Each structure stands twice: as structure tokens, then as C-alpha cells.
Structure 1
Amino acid sequence: MEDSRDAGTGRGHWITVGKAATNNLREVSVRIPKGALTVFTGVSGSGKSSLALDTVAAEAQRLVNDSYPAFVRNRLPHAHRPDVQTIDGLTFTVLIDQRRFAGNARSTVATATDIAPLLRLVFSRVGEPSAGHSPAYSFNDPSGMCPRCEGLGVVQDVDVDAMLDLDKSIDEGPVLFPVFRPGTYRWKRFAYSGLFDRAKPLRDYTAQEMHDFLYAEGMKPPDPDPRFPRTARFDGVVTRMRDAFIRRPPTSMSKETEQALHRVVTAQRCPRCRGRRLNEAALASLIDGRSIADWTALPVDRLHDVVAGLREPRVAPALAEARRRLEALRSVGLGYLSLDRVSSTLSGGEAQRVKIIRYLGSPLSSVTYVFDEPSSGLHPHDVRRLTELLLRLRAAANTVLVVEHHPQVVMLADHVVDLGPGAGEDGGRILYEGTPDGLLQTGGPTARALREPVTPRTAIRPDRGHVMIRDAREHNLRGIDVAVPLERLTAVTGVAGSGKSSLITGELPRQHPGFTVVGQEALRGGGRSTPLSQLGLAERVRQVFAAASGLAPAWFSFNSKGACPVCKGRGFITTDLAFLDDVATPCEECEGARFNPRALAVRVGGASIADVLAASPGALAELFAGHADIVARLGWMRRVGLGYLAVGQPLDTLSGGEKQRLLLARHLGDVGRGHGQRIVLDEPTTGLHGSDVDRLLALFDELVDDGATLVVVEHDLRVVAHADHVIDIGPGAGDDGGRVVFQGPPAELAAADTFTGEALAALSRR
């Protein structure tokens, strides 16, 4: 007799998706087995994330949210309905992506993992002398925080010497900070206060005048200029800076203001708590000679042993749960972290693994867990631990969906869905569904990348000299000296937390400023910034349209005169339905084009400005073939593997790896490819398929052959094998790392007794 769960769609055993068209998907239909580990793979931009994350996970989370009352639903993240005709068999779904933790200085590894409340409870019951209840041990609570730094561990203040030009008068603009330039409203406050001689240089001010100019607070000027607001009070420059940029920093600011702020605001370790964030009472409460700050400063590996060695019946449940969570951190390869590490400083891969531990050992079953490239940032040695975690989640009667490129993860799967064949408009189709062994028999790019062995380079480029990193001690580095070859491709590798990034993105550019670091830092601009603007081409394209029309360039910006008057250049209208979800619909006035009719009426080569933003770099290069500067920069975008993106795609829709490669394209567009470039890349293959990695390596070869020096912090063994020189840092992470365990060509590394050497040897035998 047929199982009733299998009637109709078979929803008891399958998640079924019918005609999904989210992003670049081409009406994809697929069945995903429940209770299994399914890997979605394909070249970068093929649509795998669109299917697993933006369709399956998004619809499941939207439906769960819809089950709550409207009052609750309005306070949950709003998930938009994906473009899919039918979807069935969904379960409660958890999405574990690589978004870094928000830049909140009050969030640490301890708070992000919910270990902090457990430790506070232990100290409130066992610590001697007791500081009070649990909040008395929290740097986020007034009863526990250091009163000097308010629990931040650092104190910030204005560097007056860096901010003032004492030889200038008020009329000349003596405050070297953008918001105090002559003519700004803040400048008018002290210029029209009547308190100062506007023509006198600051150097000639009396002590009282200088004090008022800098530190006055709420002063009522006795004889102000008529242009001074009648009810206003005068605050000094430093007082205003502290209030507007230190105590309550703005949520957004221009790049110029941000750079100026870094120059004039200094941060130092709090002298009262010595960076430990807590007040005297909390720090004086000890267990076996250690305070709670001492506990959280220990690496997780050592803290686990400390907690395991404490036998105290009064807090036995809290200790047991703390041990379980610490063990979970160790099991995901994060034993080198300390609990006082600010969570926003974690990499995307580290943040993802911190999120994973919340679900290990959960009593929930029949949950769907969706992972977005969990191997990113992981050494092959650490990927083994990751695969064990995925199998543990599956073994607890859960469904595990993973978007992934790493061969170890792909070959571990019960079921593989391969998308492609290409990226963007050339992708969005199902190429293969089935077992990993069956995938190997196909002829697609994923199968080729999995089958081909990785062969270490033997034709090493000639010696062109080197630069020395001396006595490197940042973070866990052990005072090491390292030679970095010039005009070669150098790969720096090691397990996560070994110290490779501290050495190459920290010490190298600090000791040798000629190296430019292209990392994965956030790109500003959000939905109103695009690859075109990041490449520095947006204004150039506007000038071409302006020359063709006689209009000002601002008419071809959706952030200025060219914006659609209805949607204000956003392309859609958001309707606030109070306690119901907001509804975003395409703007009927511009039909999503973002521009007004006057801007859209102008054509260059038959294309409107909206057509330009919808074009790929290749198509746009053809359109602007007569403009060599535009074509050259678009060429770099294609060369770094971003040819599938639309140049007008909102920046906040790009992945971390895509943003880094866009930064690289921008840098190469600025400096070209000539002799003498020295570039540091921090894991540039993040999110790249094996075939895309090969394309990026071809670009690296061209740059180095033209005389550039490339130093790449990387785990991908294709990059390691392709390098001229490898620097392997380790042997382990945290206190067990920070040393050079190998230097030399990749062929010799494959024979070395290191984690990287073992992984490279295994892959070259494939």
C-alpha cells in the first residue's frame, strides 16, 4: 500500500520546485530529497544561490513568518515572494549565510554564541567576592560596565593638533574637517557667534578664547551676529565633534568625512579598565585566581579545559551548557578564537561557523538547513571538520542544502544539482541531478573541475629579489622573519587562524607601504551604487550622454536630475501596509527603469541610459567601442570574472567575493598592468567555481609576466599549486600557529609534512 505521504506531489520525501524564475533561473523545475545532503553547484553566477537561497529558503521563511500574527510579523525580517510557479514540501528552514556580524563593538563571540550569560551566572554564584547578580558582570549593563569607557574597552577623543591649522583665521577655515568648512552651517555657528575675531589666526587667541572655541558647551553668546539663530546655543568644535561623531556616530557619511574622521579621532585602550570593559567590582571577583575578563580572553581551547576542570554543584547546569557550546566552537575549527573577540571582526566564514553552533545538538528535527558556501575561508584540513558537521545535522533527521564549489563537500553529497552552463543570462538551467559519481561522468565545467588533478607548478619564474618582513608580531605571529619574492606569484596559506592574514594584509603593507591590499572590505553605496560607479565609469558614461544630448550629466543619474519623479530613482514603489508586510512593486511611471522620460529619450548607439545599466561589461564595451578609457576599465571587470554581472546591478546584491574582484578591477583600472605593481589579495577565489579560478589565474600570470608582484592569501589548492612560491603558516591556529612551517615552490610543499602539504599531495594524486 502506498505511503499516504507520497500521494500527489510526494511531499513527504521531496521538496518540489516548479518553474522557478528567480533572478536568472529559466523556469527551473527540480525535486530535492528530504533527509539528505544536497549540494547545489555550478560556475559563479549560474543560478545555484538563486535556487537554493532566493527561492527555496526565501519562500520557506516567508511562509513561516506569515503564520505569525500581524503584530509579530511586522517586527520580523520581511522576505519577498520568489518568482516561482509552484513549490511544495517545505519545512521549517534555517538559512546560515556568510554575512558578517554587524559592526557593533558591544557584540563579541561570547554574546553571539550565548555563552556570555552562562559565564555571568557562574561568576555571580561562585566568584569571590561576588559583584552581585549576573548583570553586574556584563559590560553591556550599567551595573557591570566600566564607567570610563562605558563598556567599550577603548576611549575615543579628538586629536586637536590634527584637526586645527593654527595659522588660519575663522574666515580662512582653520578646522580641517569637512563639516566645518567656511559656508557650512557648523562653521556659521562659530563665525556668527560674535565670540571671536574672524580675521585673527587661532595661534593669536587668548587661552580663554581657545577654550571657548574648542570646549564651550551650551554657551549663550552675549552679542552675536544677527545671522546667529536667536534661540541657539554655542558649542565648541571639540564638543560638537564628540557629540556628533563619537557619542552618536552617524549611520552613514561620505567617504571624505569618513577618512577625515579616521585622521582626527584617536582610539586608545581605556586607562581605567585596561581594555577589559568591566568595572572594578566585576574584575575583582575571581574563580581560582581568574576574573570573567580573564576567562573570555583565553582561547576557546584553553577555556574549555578551565570550565571542564571546575566542579561546582551550585552552577552545574550552566557549566555543562558552557562546556557543550565551547566544544561546539572547537568542533567547527574555532578553538583559536577568544570569547572577547569583537564579532564584527570575524571573517564571513568564521561568522558562518559561529552561527552553526547554535543548531548543533538542537532537539528540533525535520528542519531544512541551507548553507551558502560554508567552506569559504577554510583550509582543506578544516573542511573535513565542516563535512562532519553537515553529516551530524543530516543524521538528526534534517534536510541539508549546501551551495558549494569545494570538491570535498560536493563528493560528500547524497544528491547534486548542477546549474549552468554559464553565468548570468547563459546560466539558470539544470545540467545534472543525481549522485556525485554520476556527475563525474558528465561533460560540464563542474565535472571537469572535479576530475582534473591539480599539478604543482614546476616552471618557476626567475629570482627578481625580495622584500623582508622582519620581527612580525601582529596577533599570534611569533616574531617571524619572512622573505616575499618580487615579480612572482606568491601564495600564503595555512589553516584558519594560523596568522597568514596578520602577516600579509597587516605586517607586509605596514613594513612596505608600496603594497596595495585588495581585501573583502565593505563597499559603500548599497542599492544606489553599482559596478559602473565603483569602476569610476558612471560619470564618464553620463558625459557621453550629455555630449550627445546637450543636457547636463546630472540628467543621466538616477540619484540626481535624471531620477524618475515617482520612485525617486529606485525603480520600485514600496507600500507600507502598517502591520502587514511592505509591498514593493515595479514603478508604473518608469517601469523599473529608474529614470524620467527626458533622460530615457536620449540614445547613444541606439541605447538609453537604462539600457546601459542593464548591459553586461562585454555588451557595453561594444556600445562604447570608440571610448578607449571606458572599454579598458570594462575589460578589467570581465578579466576578474565578473563579465556576467549587469553594470547597473545594485551593489548590495553582490557577494563578498564579487565585491573583492570588483575592487581588484577598479585597482587595475586605476594603475594599469605595468611593471612595479605590488598587490596583496585576500582570498580572491571566494565564491569561485574551479573553472573561474583557472580564468583568474590566467589574469594573475599576465600581471606577473608584465612585472607585477602578487601576494595571495589563499586556501584554494589550485592557486597554491599554480604559485611560484608558497609561504605556509602554522602549524595550527591561534597559539598553535604564527610560525613559518614551509617556504618554497609548490612541488616541494607537496612533499612537506604540513596540513597544506598533505592536502596538496592528495589532490595532485586525484
Structure 2
Amino acid sequence: MLAIRGARVHNLKNIDVDIPHNLLTVVTGVSGSGKSSLVFDTIYAEGQRRYVESLSAYARQFLERMEKPDVDEILGIAPPIAIRQKNTTRNPRSTVATATELYDFMRLLWARAGRTYCPNDGARIERDTGDQVADTMLAQSEGSRWYALFPVAAAPTTSAKSEPTAQAAALRDRLFDLRKKGFNRLFQNGSTFEFSTPESLLEIDFSKPLYVLADRIVIRPDSHQRIVDTLEICYRETGEVFFEPAGAPESGARILHFSEKFACKKCGQTAVLPEPALFSFNNPIGACPVCQGFGNTIDYDLDLIIPDPSLSIQNGAVDPWTKPQYTWYYDEDFKPKAKGKIRLNIAYADLKRDEKEFLREHIYNFFREVERKKYKVHVRVFMSRYRAYTQCPACRGGRLRRDALWVRLGDCNIAEVSRMNIARAREFFDTLQLSPEESQIADRVLDEIRQRCKFLNDVGLEYLTLDRLSATLSGGEAQRIQLATCLGSRLVGAIYVLDEPSIGLHSRDTARLIHILKDLRELGNTIIVVEHDPEIMAEADHILDLG
């Protein structure tokens, strides 16, 4: 039991109250009776004050200190969480997905189960691990013989700027280093050359690719570990390995190439290995370098510069050139250059494409000229009139660097899913099919995502998109997002205090809200709600009427 004795905060007149734990309590009463004073300024304030005082002195300096409420005694109080009918988010990066911690699980899911595809040819980008290479080799004909090779160096360039002497010296040093490491044979076009017989090295054609013979492998069921060990040796030297079947030039058998580089096998396009940080627009590792993770950039907007396309240039179509201090640019710079290239007496909307391009180029040249004096306040104000936020051309509003947008899961990248509303995203995750290997890694993460989508849907926010900025939410929407977040966090033994959560809700959504409050209660929490709605009062376990 939560026992309050002698509460005198604001309108409270030395009242004593007992509120049962682990039940849904509704506090109601006429306006000015002290409902908020009891719930927020007494219960929440004292619980928060005691919690902060239990922390170390170092931690307390970063937290807001609350005054002790005017009350004789409060017994049985637990750590409180206040969910108010107010949106206090001002972070321009915060979205619905990040505020509910849904995006954290999405980042983990795409990093662990996503597949990276080449933007050039659509081929999958992956690096070859030891087990994958061993499985591929063991799938070859049993008893077949293979040479494991890695390249010494690329063929010498024939450019006029090349220095053959320096290249030969570098190659000689490389061969000497390989011999010191214990490699004894070189390989070229099916022929082997041994360091132990220097005269054979004279037969090498150094204008063609040259390889080191790392091992000879016979495919048998027990060859797995030997293949993995050989692969590690080759990766350590050059990061790649070639398996050439014995007699390949004569038989025409296929040479197998494996690489530890995270790159496309067809075109060589490299990508960043997926990690959770790569999918965070709040992290410099993953944020788009052009818009810094905001999804839009501020630039000059032609719709503001040319507000009325029906006007001709000489009649003032270009608004900044109509200002007295900048008419000189039109008269002295643009007009002389425009002869024969653009018609000045024709409406902008009727100009040809090349004429519009000519005009745009001079408009941007004009603003570059103006920017030279942007240290003056009035110049900065003038420039701001013609600027607007536009979608980032690099990430197209996805907020992430291109490597992150190449990673797909269920044929969607993480930015495309973030643009979905909660109902569509819930359907996407509910129907997402993973391979057995991916399921072992990502099943628990996927369950957390599905639960959070369900909670957001249950509080009636299925129409919000995941990338909706938190600062644009109404107070009621922000409150319900906090409710869904609390339910997803699964805290036990806390006191939740809510301020009229039913305001602005349809009766259908009120039923959903009641269901959420009961779910919080069933987890083992005490729910105290300031409310007047008859439906919520009817479902309460305990009612406290003030006034």
C-alpha cells in the first residue's frame, strides 16, 4: 500500500490517502481539487527525489533535483515514471522509431541478417569465410587435385611513366620475403618454379601474373581443416586465394577465386561490412556525409527565387534582382551576357530548357557573388529568404550513407522500411521469412521488433510512419508513444503516473488504451491515472475522488 499522510501541496488540505500497489487507480474530481498536485507534485516528486538521492554524488550533478513536497510522510513508494500529455522532444534527429527504441533493434537486425547487394549489377556482396570456402571445395569431385595459389604482384605496367628498374627491384624484394617465410614454389600457366633451382626462375615471364603455390590439395572428406588452414595463409599474404585444378589449361576446368574483401565478385565494387553503427544516422559511421544524417539539405529554392513563372525576366520574374541593392547584377552583368542566349520578354514558364539552364546558372553565380559578403547580417537575412530545405540528393531522404542503403532484408533496405507506417511495418516484420541460419541469429531481435510494433498499433498510432519526427507529434501522440515504450521495456515494480491519457481519443482508441494500462498493471506495476473518462473509470480497480 502507498500511504500518504498530511499532504499540503497547493490545494491539498492536509489529506491522508492510501493507494493499493499493483492495481489501476483513477484519480478524479472537479477542476482545482488537487488531482495533479497529489499525483504529480506529491507522489511523483517524492519518488523521483528519493531515487535521485540514492545515486552517487557524481551522478546527481547531471540530474534535476526536485524539492521535497509539503507532506508529513509517504510510505511504500516505488520509483515513479511520469507520462504527461505534452511533447517535450526538441531533438531534430529523434523519430518515432528511435523514441520507441524500435530503430535500435532494426539496426541490429539489418546488421546481422541483412544482405548487401552491388548497386552496379545487383550481385550479392559478401566475403568468403573459411567454412564457406571449405564447403565449396569439398563439393568438387572427390579425389580431384587442386593448386592453392595467391598472387605475387600484378603484371608490370607498360605506361611510359613506369620505372622498370624500380618495379623489378620491388618484385625481387617480394620474392626474397616470400622465400624467408617458407614458400618454395611459384606458379604460372600450369608450370611450377622452385626457389631451390634458381635457373628455373629465369623461365618466368614477369609480364604475366605470377602466383605463389601455397599448397596442393586432394579433395577428400577429411580435407576441411587443411583447406581452412591454407585459406588463412593466403588471406594473410594478399587477402585472396585461387584454386586451380591440376591440368586446368588443358582440361579447361574452372578456376575458383575467393577473397576476404567485402566486394562484388563481378565488378569489384567494395562495401562496408554491416555493423549496427552503419545503420545509425546519429553516428558519423552511418550518417549520410552530405546531409549529416538529417535527410535534407538547405539550398537555394527556385520556387522562392522565381515565385511567379508567368512573368518575364525583364518584368521581374527573378525576385532577388528586383531589390534596389541588386538590380545592378541584372543590368550590368546578366543583361549583356543574355543577348542571343535567352529571351528576356518571354514568361519564364515558356522558356526553352537551354534558356532555363542559362538563367539558373547565372542565378547561382549571383548568389555566390552575394555570399562573399555574408559576414554582414542583412546579407545573411537576404540569402535566407530564398533558401529552403530539400531532400538530400545523396541519400534521397534515407539519412544513411550509401553502403547502408545497399543492405537489404526482405527486399527492402532499412530506410524504405522506416518510411512505412506502423501498420505496414508490422505486416512487413510479421511476414518476414529468414533462413535457418539467419533465424538462429535474429529471431530474438525480430520478436522484440514485432512486440513493439504491436504495442504502437495497440495504442492507436498505426497511421504514424516510423521516420516521423518526434518534434512534430501532438501531446497525445507523444504520450501514447511513451506508453508503448514503457510496455516494451517491461519494467516491474514501478509507479506509472499519467495525466488524462484519453484526451482526443476516439472511443475505439480508448478501449485500446485501457488494454495497455492493464498490460502494464499485469507486469507488476502500480498505475495512477488522472482521468474523467467514464470508460476508464469503469475499468479501474480503485477510484480516488477528490473535492
TM-score (norm: length of structure 1): 0.42
1-side partners of 2:390 and 2:10: how far apart? 46
Q: Which of 130, 134, 142 matches 2:284?
A: 142
Distance 1:331 1:167, change over 3 A: closer
Distance 1:203 1:363, change over 3 A: closer
Q: Residue in 1 aligned with 2:223?
A: none
Distance 1:104 1:88, change over 3 A: same
Q: Residue in 1 aligned with 2:206?
A: none
Amino acid at match of 1:38: T
1:212–1:236: 8 Å Cα contact kept in structure 2?
no
Q: Residue in 2 aligned with 1:345?
A: 472
Which range moves more in the overlay, 399-408 or 325-334?
325-334
Structure 2 residues without counterparts, runs of 5 or longer? 117-124, 126-271, 308-318, 335-361
Size of the aligned set, in residue pairs, is 344
Q: Residue in 1 aligned with 2:148?
A: none
Q: Using the TM superposition, give the Cα deviation of residue 302 of structure 1 relative to its aligned residue in structure 2, in angstroms.
A: 2.5
2-side partners of 1:419 and 1:275: how far apart? 51
Is residue 124 from structure 1 mapped to residue 247 from structure 2 by the alignment? no
Distance 1:205 1:54, change over 3 A: farther
After superposition, residues 54-69 of structure 1 pair within 5 angstroms as 54-69=41-56
Amino acid at match of 1:300: I
Distance 1:210 1:364, change over 3 A: closer
Distance 1:413 1:345, change over 3 A: same
Q: Residue in 1 aligned with 2:146?
A: none
After superposition, residues 435-450 of structure 1 pair within 5 angstroms as none
Instruction: Give a deviation string over 1:517-572, Cα, whole Å, max 9, x none.
Output: xxxxxxxxxxxxxxxxxxxxxxxxxxxxxxxxxxxxxxxxxxxxxxxxxxxxxxxx
Is residue 322 from structure 1 mapped to residue 462 from structure 2 by the alignment? no
Is residue 271 from structure 1 mapped to residue 398 from structure 2 by the alignment? no
Is residue 284 from structure 1 mapped to residue 406 from structure 2 by the alignment? yes
SS, match of residue 324 in structure 2 = coil
Distance 1:63 1:325, change over 3 A: same
Is residue 387 from structure 1 mapped to residue 514 from structure 2 by the alignment? yes
Is residue 307 from structure 1 mapped to residue 463 from structure 2 by the alignment? no
Q: Which of 235, 245, 248 matches 2:375?
A: 235
Amino acid at match of 1:134: P
Identical positions, percent: 39
1-side partners of 2:375 and 2:322: how far apart? 19
1:214–1:237: 8 Å Cα contact kept in structure 2?
no
After superposition, residues 203-602 of structure 1 pair within 5 angstroms as 214-216=370-372, 235=375, 240=380, 264-308=386-430, 309-311=432-434, 312-313=438-439, 314-360=441-487, 362=489, 364-420=491-547
Instruction: Give a deviation string over 1:76-123, Cα, whole Å, max 9, x none.
Output: 233222222322221111111122141322111111111112111221
SS, match of residue 359 in structure 1 = helix
Which structure is larger by alpha-carbon Rg, 1 or 2?
2
Q: Using the TM superposition, give the Cα deviation of residue 284 of structure 1 relative to its aligned residue in structure 2, in angstroms.
A: 1.9
2-side partners of 1:23 and 1:201: how far apart? 66
2-side partners of 1:333 and 1:273: how far apart? 31
Instruction: Give a deviation string over 1:555-614, Cα, whole Å, max 9, x none.
Output: xxxxxxxxxxxxxxxxxxxxxxxxxxxxxxxxxxxxxxxxxxxxxxxxxxxxxxxxxxxx
Amino acid at match of 1:42: G
Q: Using the TM superposition, give the Cα deviation of residue 401 of structure 1 relative to its aligned residue in structure 2, in angstroms.
A: 0.3
1-side partners of 2:115 and 2:540: how far apart? 51
1-side partners of 2:328 and 2:9: how far apart? 63
Q: Using the TM superposition, give the Cα deviation of residue 381 of structure 1 relative to its aligned residue in structure 2, in angstroms.
A: 0.6
Distance 1:216 1:407, change over 3 A: same
SS, match of residue 56 in structure 1 = helix
After superposition, residues 187-198 of structure 1 pair within 5 angstroms as none
Amino acid at match of 2:429: V
1:101–1:346: 8 Å Cα contact kept in structure 2?
no
Q: Residue in 2 aligned with 1:643?
A: none
SS, match of residue 156 in structure 1 = strand
2:405–2:415: 8 Å Cα contact kept in structure 1?
yes
SS, match of residue 357 in structure 1 = helix
| Two-structure CA RMSD over aligned residues (Å) | 3.0
Q: Using the TM superposition, give the Cα deviation of residue 20 of structure 1 relative to its aligned residue in structure 2, in angstroms.
A: 2.1
Amino acid at match of 1:392: D
Distance 1:26 1:165, change over 3 A: farther
Distance 1:115 1:89, change over 3 A: same
SS, match of residue 34 in structure 1 = coil
TM-score (norm: length of structure 2): 0.57
Structure 1 residues without counterparts, runs of 5 or longer? 1-13, 175-199, 218-233, 246-260, 421-766
Q: Using the TM superposition, give the Cα deviation of residue 35 of structure 1 relative to its aligned residue in structure 2, in angstroms.
A: 2.2
Distance 1:212 1:158, change over 3 A: closer
